[in-house]
Amino acid sequence: MNQAFAEYLAACRQRADLALDRFSKQIHSEYSGHKDDSLSRRLYEAMRYSLLNGGKRVRPTLVYASAEALDPGCSELALDHIAASVECLHSYSLVHDDLPAMDDDDLRRGQPTCHRAYDEATAILAGDALHTLAFELLADCPGLESSQRISLVKALAAASGARGMVGGQFIDLSLEHHQPAIELLQTMHSLKTGALIRAALRMGGIAANANGEQLQALDRYGNFIGLAFQVKDDLLDIEGSTEVLGKQQGSDINNSKMTYPGLLGQGGSRDLLEQLLQEALMAVAVFGDKAERLRQLGGYIISRNY
């Protein structure tokens, strides 16, 4: 990874962290007008604990980079709202996925999961509140037309509900200890992880006034890098180190999860990654030079070590 791109990634991450910090403080201070601030403080703490725990901020970065691939024009603050919204949605899904009744995970990014650090009821409610906050941030998005804001709400809702992320998580749970075909693995990931990645790109595009053809190009790019993201995750589970990953290395194998390396082997999975990257690069060729960040992000996704 070249130095300039490393700095870009760090800047996007920092920008998203600042936005998340600011917006989550804001709703707390709005609430604090209430006299019983102390009682719900723990709820806000659990929300912020889950939100600000050092994520890579891949989805916010995709929002920024897709707007950049077009004529940005839109306000920086609008992009921050969108980036924070997508990350709130992602964060809520992690909090709920980690629950004992779901994946029952103790660690997330090297820290105790929300229900371990707090308790199960608090984790359910903190997830619910982050879920709502994601939509509130879009409705309040400054500097955009109402019609754009509605398109953003639609894009996020379609990607994250029963036809998207939640549907994918449900299929994933249903498949545990099964060995389904690769098409099914692909459908599941396309919903569980891919849908929100595609939404992040589309939402950056909506803010930057993308036309239908441009949104389609972003969708295609999102399809390929979404899948690549998952294949790489599966490879890292085998090849990565527990310390760098922030979660137990080898946990997929221990949980008999169906993975790409399990189906295609490590070599086959690496070939697939390379092929997906080429497809992704072709998809954004229409944007010319402005797609440079999207191209670099594709390369980063298949070469990252955590």
228: nearest Cα among 198, 203, 184: 198
Q: Helix and strand tally (H, E) in the chain?
A: 15, 2
Shortest distance, position 305 Cβ to a copy of itself, whole Å: 31
Rg (CA), the chain: 19
Shortest distance, position 21 Cβ to a copy of itself, whole Å: 16
Shortest distance, position 300 Cβ to a copy of itself, whole Å: 29
Q: Which two tokens stand for residue 29?
A: 């201070």
The C-alpha atoms of residue 164 and residue 161 are separated, in whole angstroms, by 5
Shortest distance, position 103 Cβ to a copy of itself, whole Å: 9
The C-alpha atoms of residue 112 and residue 120 are separated, in whole angstroms, by 13
Residue closer to a copy of itself by CB (options 66, 151) is 151
Residue closer to a copy of itself by CB (options 157, 286) is 157
Residue closer to a copy of itself by CB (options 195, 291) is 195
Residue closer to a copy of itself by CB (options 174, 278) is 174
Shortest distance, position 76 Cβ to a copy of itself, whole Å: 21
Shortest distance, position 142 Cβ to a copy of itself, whole Å: 12
Shortest distance, position 238 Cβ to a copy of itself, whole Å: 26
First to last CA, the chain: 14
Shortest distance, position 13 Cβ to a copy of itself, whole Å: 25
The C-alpha atoms of residue 53 and residue 32 are separated, in whole angstroms, by 23
Residue closer to a copy of itself by CB (options 157, 281) is 157
In contact, 112 and 92? CB cutoff 8 Å? no
Residue closer to a copy of itself by CB (options 74, 129) is 129
Q: Which two tokens stand for residue 245?
A: 């990953």
Pairing of strands 107-108, 111-112: antiparallel
Contacting residues for 116 by C-beta, under 8 A, at least 6 apart: 106
Q: Which two tokens stand for residue 89?
A: 């949605």
The site for a copy of itself (CB under 8 A) is made up of 27-28, 30-31, 34-36, 39-40, 42-44, 47, 92-93, 96, 99, 101-102, 119-122, 124-125, 128-129, 131-133, 135-136, 138-140, 145-147, 149-150, 153-154, 156-158, 160-163, 166-167, 169-171, 173-175, 183-184, 187-188
Question: Half-sphere exposure of residue 289, counting CA atoms within 13 Å on the CB side?
Answer: 0
129: nearest Cα among 154, 103, 159, 96: 96
Residue closer to a copy of itself by CB (options 185, 231) is 185
Residue closer to a copy of itself by CB (options 143, 167) is 167
* Torsion region of 62: left, alpha or beta (phi above 0 gives left; psi -120 to 50 gives alpha): alpha
